[in-house]
Each structure stands twice: as C-alpha cells, then as structure tokens.
Amino acid sequence: GAELVYDEGKSAAALAACRTLAEELTEFRFPAPRILAFKEGSSQARYFVSRLIPAHKDPPYEQEARFPQLRTLTSEQRTKLKSSFVHFDDPSFCEWMRSLKVVPPQPS
C-alpha cells in the first residue's frame, strides 16, 4: 500500500513538472495549444498516439537529428521506447517526402 502511494506521488510530481514545462514552452505561441494529459494505455492515449506522425519509422540518424535527446538513451532503452509505439501503415513525414522524390527538410 505505501509503495503504491509513493509511486502515485512520484507520478503526480512528474505530471506537474511536465505540465509546467509545456506551459513554459508554449507561453508565447498563438494560438495557444491545448495541453492534454492521459493515462498510458487509456483509450484517449491510444487515440492520441494514432494521430501522431509515425517518426519512429524513420532511420535512427534522422530521429536523432530531430530529437537529440534520443542520443542519451542506451540501446535497451531505445528498443523499449520503440516497442511502445503502435504500428501504423501511415508513412512518416520523411517517408512521405521521399515518396514524392523530395529531400526531407533538415532539422533546424
């Protein structure tokens, strides 16, 4: 019981930190984006994931160029992260650009 309460406290603190970061990053954006939070595995979370561009299908060098934080993960962590994504037939943005014979934009 105490362990569960401790984990819930850590989760609430992590959620609050993520919400604060998201609010700071979007403070000057117009129109202001909605900030959503879901429980992992819930129907809302599955719907949200289904709407994301499947960048996890891009080659590792393109993923790392766009998301430099991935370089800090171990191979085990990266494998676990990649396995958490749901497979979709939709192309990623880079795959779609290549299908048009256009070079995908370089990350800034």
Per-residue pLDDT band at 20 (split at 50, 70, 90): very high
pLDDT recorded at residue 76: 93
73 in Cβ contact with 81 (< 8 Å): yes
Q: Is the pTM of this model over 0.75?
A: no
pLDDT in tens, 61-73: 888 888 889 999 9
Q: Take residue 45 and report the two structure tokens written for it.
A: 């979370």
pLDDT in tens, 29-62: 899 888 888 887 888 887 787 777 677 788 888 8
d(CA 56, CA 39) in angstroms, rounded, equals: 21
The residue extents of the domains of the chain are 1-37, 52-108
d(CA 98, CA 28) in angstroms, rounded, equals: 33
State the CB neighbour count (10 A cutoff) for residue 38.
13
- Reply yes or no on whether the pLDDT at 108 is more than 70: no
pLDDT in tens, 74-99: 999 998 888 887 777 778 778 888 88
- Reply yes or no on whether the pLDDT at 101 is more than 70: yes
Secondary structure element (H or E) that encloses residue 51, with its range:
helix 43-51
Q: What 3-state class would DSSP assign to 86?
A: coil
106 in Cβ contact with 65 (< 8 Å): yes
